[in-house]
Protein backbone atom coordinates (compact mmCIF):
# COMPACT_ATOMS: atom_id res chain seq x y z
CA UNK A 1 0.00 0.00 0.00
CA UNK A 2 1.24 3.49 -0.82
CA UNK A 3 2.26 5.31 2.36
CA UNK A 4 3.64 8.76 3.14
CA UNK A 5 6.91 8.30 5.01
CA UNK A 6 8.80 11.04 6.85
CA UNK A 7 12.25 11.05 5.27
CA UNK A 8 13.74 14.06 7.06
CA UNK A 9 13.04 16.72 9.66
CA UNK A 10 14.30 20.23 10.36
CA UNK A 11 13.56 23.21 12.56
CA UNK A 12 14.56 26.75 13.28
CA UNK A 13 14.10 29.27 16.09
CA UNK A 14 15.36 32.86 16.14
CA UNK A 15 18.37 33.61 18.34
CA UNK A 16 16.82 36.21 20.63
CA UNK A 17 15.68 34.77 23.94
CA UNK A 18 13.01 36.50 26.05
CA UNK A 19 13.04 35.01 29.55
CA UNK A 20 10.28 35.22 32.14
CA UNK A 21 12.52 37.68 34.00
CA UNK A 22 12.59 39.88 30.90
CA UNK A 23 8.77 39.79 30.90
CA UNK A 24 8.73 40.79 34.58
CA UNK A 25 10.18 44.10 33.41
CA UNK A 26 7.54 44.51 30.69
CA UNK A 27 4.24 43.53 32.37
CA UNK A 28 2.97 42.83 35.90
CA UNK A 29 3.94 39.18 36.19
CA UNK A 30 6.46 36.91 37.87
CA UNK A 31 8.70 34.10 36.73
CA UNK A 32 7.01 31.93 39.36
CA UNK A 33 3.48 32.61 38.03
CA UNK A 34 4.47 31.87 34.44
CA UNK A 35 6.45 28.75 35.32
CA UNK A 36 3.80 27.19 37.55
CA UNK A 37 0.82 28.11 35.35
CA UNK A 38 2.37 27.32 31.97
CA UNK A 39 5.72 25.48 32.29
CA UNK A 40 7.36 28.15 30.13
CA UNK A 41 10.70 29.68 31.18
CA UNK A 42 11.74 31.43 27.99
CA UNK A 43 10.73 31.89 24.36
CA UNK A 44 12.44 33.00 21.13
CA UNK A 45 11.39 36.08 19.19
CA UNK A 46 12.28 37.29 15.73
CA UNK A 47 14.20 40.55 15.57
CA UNK A 48 13.52 41.00 11.89
CA UNK A 49 13.56 37.52 10.44
CA UNK A 50 10.48 36.92 8.36
CA UNK A 51 8.13 33.95 8.47
CA UNK A 52 9.49 32.95 5.07
CA UNK A 53 13.12 33.10 6.20
CA UNK A 54 12.36 30.91 9.19
CA UNK A 55 10.37 28.47 7.06
CA UNK A 56 13.21 28.28 4.52
CA UNK A 57 15.79 27.51 7.23
CA UNK A 58 13.68 24.70 8.69
CA UNK A 59 12.81 23.42 5.22
CA UNK A 60 16.42 23.39 4.02
CA UNK A 61 17.43 21.41 7.11
CA UNK A 62 14.64 18.86 6.52
CA UNK A 63 15.71 18.46 2.88
CA UNK A 64 19.32 17.97 3.91
CA UNK A 65 18.44 15.35 6.50
CA UNK A 66 16.28 13.53 3.92
CA UNK A 67 19.09 13.69 1.34
CA UNK A 68 16.65 15.18 -1.16
CA UNK A 69 17.34 18.19 -3.35
CA UNK A 70 14.79 21.03 -3.59
CA UNK A 71 14.35 20.28 -7.31
CA UNK A 72 12.86 16.85 -6.46
CA UNK A 73 10.01 18.32 -4.37
CA UNK A 74 6.61 18.22 -6.09
CA UNK A 75 4.38 19.72 -3.37
CA UNK A 76 4.88 22.46 -0.74
CA UNK A 77 2.35 22.95 2.04
CA UNK A 78 2.94 25.52 4.78
CA UNK A 79 0.82 25.78 7.92
CA UNK A 80 0.88 29.38 9.14
CA UNK A 81 -1.40 32.20 10.27
CA UNK A 82 1.36 34.80 10.33
CA UNK A 83 2.41 35.01 6.68
CA UNK A 84 4.68 37.88 5.62
CA UNK A 85 2.21 38.96 2.97
CA UNK A 86 -1.53 38.50 2.45
CA UNK A 87 -0.45 36.98 -0.85
CA UNK A 88 1.46 35.33 -2.37
CA UNK A 89 1.42 32.47 0.08
CA UNK A 90 4.41 31.63 2.26
CA UNK A 91 4.63 28.34 0.35
CA UNK A 92 5.19 30.20 -2.94
CA UNK A 93 7.88 32.36 -1.31
CA UNK A 94 9.57 29.23 0.07
CA UNK A 95 9.36 27.57 -3.35
CA UNK A 96 11.17 30.56 -4.84
CA UNK A 97 13.74 30.94 -2.05
CA UNK A 98 14.72 27.25 -2.26
CA UNK A 99 14.79 27.33 -6.09
CA UNK A 100 12.25 24.56 -6.41
CA UNK A 101 10.78 23.62 -9.74
CA UNK A 102 8.17 25.93 -11.25
CA UNK A 103 4.72 24.46 -11.78
CA UNK A 104 4.43 22.35 -8.63
CA UNK A 105 1.52 23.07 -6.23
CA UNK A 106 2.52 25.30 -3.29
CA UNK A 107 -0.01 26.71 -0.84
CA UNK A 108 -0.62 27.67 2.80
CA UNK A 109 -3.06 26.18 5.25
CA UNK A 110 -4.49 28.45 7.97
CA UNK A 111 -5.37 26.44 11.06
CA UNK A 112 -3.50 28.37 13.77
CA UNK A 113 -1.73 26.01 16.19
CA UNK A 114 -3.07 23.01 14.24
CA UNK A 115 -1.44 24.32 11.05
CA UNK A 116 1.21 21.61 10.84
CA UNK A 117 -1.18 18.72 11.53
CA UNK A 118 -3.51 20.13 8.85
CA UNK A 119 -0.65 20.62 6.36
CA UNK A 120 0.66 17.11 6.99
CA UNK A 121 -2.84 15.69 6.54
CA UNK A 122 -3.03 17.37 3.11
CA UNK A 123 0.40 16.09 2.05
CA UNK A 124 -0.44 12.57 3.27
CA UNK A 125 -3.57 12.53 1.12
CA UNK A 126 -1.74 13.91 -1.95
CA UNK A 127 0.88 11.21 -1.58
CA UNK A 128 -1.45 8.30 -0.87
CA UNK A 129 -3.57 9.26 -3.87
CA UNK A 130 -0.46 9.10 -6.08
CA UNK A 131 -0.64 12.81 -6.96
CA UNK A 132 2.65 13.73 -5.24
CA UNK A 133 5.80 11.78 -4.48
CA UNK A 134 7.97 14.12 -2.44
CA UNK A 135 6.43 16.88 -0.33
CA UNK A 136 7.90 19.59 1.84
CA UNK A 137 5.60 20.33 4.79
CA UNK A 138 6.34 23.26 7.09
CA UNK A 139 4.73 24.66 10.24
CA UNK A 140 5.81 28.20 11.05
CA UNK A 141 4.52 31.16 13.00
CA UNK A 142 5.87 34.50 14.17
CA UNK A 143 3.36 35.30 16.89
CA UNK A 144 5.62 38.01 18.34
CA UNK A 145 4.16 40.20 15.56
CA UNK A 146 0.54 39.72 16.63
CA UNK A 147 1.00 39.64 20.40
CA UNK A 148 0.14 42.65 22.52
CA UNK A 149 3.34 42.82 24.58
CA UNK A 150 1.42 44.87 27.18
CA UNK A 151 -1.14 42.09 27.76
CA UNK A 152 0.15 39.77 30.46
CA UNK A 153 -2.57 37.20 29.82
CA UNK A 154 -1.22 36.39 26.34
CA UNK A 155 2.35 37.71 25.93
CA UNK A 156 3.76 35.19 28.40
CA UNK A 157 2.53 32.23 26.34
CA UNK A 158 3.83 32.55 22.82
CA UNK A 159 7.12 32.45 20.91
CA UNK A 160 8.35 32.19 17.33
CA UNK A 161 9.48 28.98 15.63
CA UNK A 162 9.43 26.78 12.57
CA UNK A 163 9.63 23.09 11.85
CA UNK A 164 9.58 21.06 8.65
CA UNK A 165 9.39 17.52 7.32
CA UNK A 166 10.02 15.95 3.95
CA UNK A 167 7.38 13.34 3.22
CA UNK A 168 7.96 10.76 0.48
CA UNK A 169 5.83 8.08 -1.16
CA UNK A 170 6.83 4.63 0.01
CA UNK A 171 5.62 1.07 -0.39
CA UNK A 172 6.89 -0.15 2.98
CA UNK A 173 5.09 -0.48 6.32
CA UNK A 174 6.53 2.78 7.65
CA UNK A 175 4.76 6.07 7.28
CA UNK A 176 1.70 8.01 8.32
CA UNK A 177 -0.88 5.48 9.49
CA UNK A 178 -3.69 8.01 9.48
CA UNK A 179 -4.46 11.59 10.37
CA UNK A 180 -7.68 13.22 11.48
CA UNK A 181 -8.43 16.93 11.36
CA UNK A 182 -11.41 18.79 12.82
CA UNK A 183 -12.78 22.26 13.32
CA UNK A 184 -15.70 23.97 15.02
CA UNK A 185 -16.13 27.57 13.94
CA UNK A 186 -18.79 28.27 16.56
CA UNK A 187 -15.88 28.74 19.00
CA UNK A 188 -14.00 31.22 16.81
CA UNK A 189 -14.14 34.00 19.43
CA UNK A 190 -12.14 32.01 21.99
CA UNK A 191 -8.89 32.72 20.22
CA UNK A 192 -8.53 35.09 17.31
CA UNK A 193 -6.80 38.07 15.77
CA UNK A 194 -9.34 40.76 14.89
CA UNK A 195 -7.84 42.98 12.26
CA UNK A 196 -4.78 42.22 10.18
CA UNK A 197 -6.91 43.30 7.23
CA UNK A 198 -7.91 46.99 7.30
CA UNK A 199 -11.36 48.30 6.44
CA UNK A 200 -11.73 50.01 3.09
CA UNK A 201 -12.97 53.64 3.03
CA UNK A 202 -16.30 52.34 1.68
CA UNK A 203 -17.03 50.23 4.75
CA UNK A 204 -18.46 51.33 8.06
CA UNK A 205 -16.65 50.39 11.24
CA UNK A 206 -13.50 51.30 13.05
CA UNK A 207 -10.10 49.98 12.18
CA UNK A 208 -9.46 47.02 14.41
CA UNK A 209 -6.53 46.15 16.55
CA UNK A 210 -4.33 43.44 15.06
CA UNK A 211 -3.43 41.80 18.36
CA UNK A 212 -4.34 38.26 19.32
CA UNK A 213 -7.26 37.93 21.76
CA UNK A 214 -7.87 34.84 23.86
CA UNK A 215 -10.26 33.49 26.48
CA UNK A 216 -7.63 31.42 28.26
CA UNK A 217 -9.76 29.39 30.67
CA UNK A 218 -12.32 28.19 28.12
CA UNK A 219 -9.58 27.51 25.58
CA UNK A 220 -7.73 25.46 28.18
CA UNK A 221 -10.69 23.16 28.85
CA UNK A 222 -11.46 22.62 25.17
CA UNK A 223 -7.77 21.99 24.45
CA UNK A 224 -7.63 19.12 26.93
CA UNK A 225 -10.90 17.59 25.78
CA UNK A 226 -10.30 17.84 22.04
CA UNK A 227 -6.68 16.66 22.08
CA UNK A 228 -7.60 13.69 24.25
CA UNK A 229 -10.42 12.80 21.82
CA UNK A 230 -8.13 13.27 18.82
CA UNK A 231 -5.54 10.88 20.26
CA UNK A 232 -8.21 8.29 21.06
CA UNK A 233 -9.59 8.65 17.53
CA UNK A 234 -6.25 8.02 15.81
CA UNK A 235 -5.49 5.07 18.11
CA UNK A 236 -8.88 3.49 17.57
CA UNK A 237 -8.69 3.99 13.80
CA UNK A 238 -5.46 1.99 13.72
CA UNK A 239 -6.40 -0.66 16.29
CA UNK A 240 -3.85 0.71 18.75
CA UNK A 241 -3.99 1.44 22.47
CA UNK A 242 -2.13 4.09 24.50
CA UNK A 243 0.46 1.43 25.49
CA UNK A 244 1.44 1.11 21.82
CA UNK A 245 2.58 4.74 21.67
CA UNK A 246 6.38 4.99 21.63
CA UNK A 247 6.39 8.78 21.75
CA UNK A 248 3.53 11.26 22.10
CA UNK A 249 4.22 14.74 20.73
CA UNK A 250 1.48 17.13 21.83
CA UNK A 251 1.11 20.75 20.78
CA UNK A 252 3.19 22.69 23.30
CA UNK A 253 0.63 25.20 24.60
CA UNK A 254 0.73 24.78 28.38
CA UNK A 255 2.42 22.11 30.52
CA UNK A 256 -0.82 21.73 32.50
CA UNK A 257 -2.72 20.88 29.28
CA UNK A 258 -0.03 18.33 28.37
CA UNK A 259 -0.06 16.80 31.87
CA UNK A 260 -3.86 16.55 31.91
CA UNK A 261 -3.83 14.62 28.60
CA UNK A 262 -0.95 12.46 29.80
CA UNK A 263 -2.94 11.49 32.89
CA UNK A 264 -6.20 10.88 30.99
CA UNK A 265 -4.38 8.55 28.58
CA UNK A 266 -2.29 7.04 31.36
CA UNK A 267 0.96 7.69 29.50
CA UNK A 268 4.26 7.47 31.38
CA UNK A 269 6.29 10.67 31.61
CA UNK A 270 9.12 9.42 29.36
CA UNK A 271 6.72 8.81 26.46
CA UNK A 272 5.54 12.43 26.32
CA UNK A 273 7.82 14.88 24.54
CA UNK A 274 7.97 18.32 26.15
CA UNK A 275 10.11 21.30 25.16
CA UNK A 276 7.69 24.11 26.10
CA UNK A 277 10.14 25.34 28.76
CA UNK A 278 12.48 26.69 26.05
CA UNK A 279 10.07 27.95 23.40
CA UNK A 280 6.57 28.55 24.78
CA UNK A 281 3.74 28.06 22.31
CA UNK A 282 5.11 28.52 18.78
CA UNK A 283 1.71 27.81 17.17
CA UNK A 284 2.11 25.90 13.88
CA UNK A 285 5.85 25.60 14.57
CA UNK A 286 5.31 23.75 17.84
CA UNK A 287 4.82 20.12 16.75
CA UNK A 288 7.38 19.95 13.91
CA UNK A 289 9.94 21.73 16.11
CA UNK A 290 9.32 19.15 18.85
CA UNK A 291 9.43 16.30 16.32
CA UNK A 292 12.76 17.48 14.94
CA UNK A 293 14.24 17.76 18.45
CA UNK A 294 12.98 14.27 19.30
CA UNK A 295 14.50 12.82 16.10
CA UNK A 296 17.84 14.57 16.61
CA UNK A 297 17.84 13.57 20.29
CA UNK A 298 17.62 9.90 19.24
CA UNK A 299 14.23 9.45 20.90
CA UNK A 300 12.58 7.90 17.83
CA UNK A 301 13.69 4.62 16.27
CA UNK A 302 12.56 2.59 13.28
CA UNK A 303 9.19 0.92 13.84
CA UNK A 304 8.24 3.28 16.70
CA UNK A 305 4.68 4.55 16.86
CA UNK A 306 4.70 8.35 17.10
CA UNK A 307 1.42 10.10 17.85
CA UNK A 308 1.02 13.86 17.48
CA UNK A 309 -1.98 15.97 18.51
CA UNK A 310 -2.79 19.63 18.12
CA UNK A 311 -5.29 22.25 19.14
CA UNK A 312 -5.71 25.87 18.11
CA UNK A 313 -7.79 28.86 17.10
CA UNK A 314 -10.70 28.17 14.81
CA UNK A 315 -11.27 26.06 16.77
CA UNK A 316 -9.15 23.46 15.05
CA UNK A 317 -7.72 20.21 16.34
CA UNK A 318 -6.31 17.00 14.99
CA UNK A 319 -4.02 14.01 15.36
CA UNK A 320 -1.58 11.93 13.36
CA UNK A 321 -0.09 8.48 13.99
CA UNK A 322 3.15 7.49 12.30
CA UNK A 323 5.01 4.20 12.16
CA UNK A 324 8.60 5.45 11.99
State the catalytic residues.
113, 251, 281
If one asks whether residue 116 binds ligand UT7 (CB under 6 A), the answer comes out as no
Binding region for ligand UT7 (CB under 6 A) out of 4-12, 176-184, 205-213, 216-224: 216-224
If one asks whether residue 171 binds ligand UT7 (CB under 6 A), the answer comes out as no
Min dist CB 275 to ligand UT7, Å, is 15
Contact 133, 102 (CB under 8 A): no
Binding region for ligand UT7 (CB under 6 A) out of 11-19, 128-136, 209-217, 259-267: 209-217
Name which of 126 and 279 has its Cβ closer to ligand UT7: 279
If one asks whether residue 38 binds ligand UT7 (CB under 6 A), the answer comes out as yes
Burial of 151: CB neighbours in 10 Å, binned 0-12, 13-18, 19+:
middle
Instruction: Please work out the total of residues on this chain that contact ligand UT7, with binding judged by CB under 6 A.
Output: 21
- Residue 239 neighbours by CB under 8 Å, 6+ apart: none
Min dist CB 33 to ligand UT7, Å, is 4
Per CB under 6 A, the list member of 50, 132, 144, 219 interacting with ligand UT7 is 219
Helices (H), the chain: 20-24, 31-38, 51-66, 90-97, 115-128, 216-237, 255-264, 276-279, 286-296
Distances (CA, A) of 136 to 8, 100, 228, 249, 297: 10, 11, 28, 20, 22
CA–CA separation, 145 and 147 (whole Å): 6
Residues that bind ligand UT7 (CB under 6 A): 29, 33, 37-38, 113, 152-153, 156, 191, 214, 216-217, 219-220, 223, 251, 253-254, 281, 311-312
Amino acid sequence: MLMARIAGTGSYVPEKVISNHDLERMVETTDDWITTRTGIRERRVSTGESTTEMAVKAGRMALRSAGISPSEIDLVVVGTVTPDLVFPSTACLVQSALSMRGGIPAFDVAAACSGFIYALDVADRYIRSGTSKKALVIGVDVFSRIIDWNDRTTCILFGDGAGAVVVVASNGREGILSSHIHSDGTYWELLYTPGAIRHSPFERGEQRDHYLLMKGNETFKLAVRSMEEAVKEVLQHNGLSPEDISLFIPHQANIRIINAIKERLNLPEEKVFVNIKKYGNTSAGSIPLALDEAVRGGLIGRGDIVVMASFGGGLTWGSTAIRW
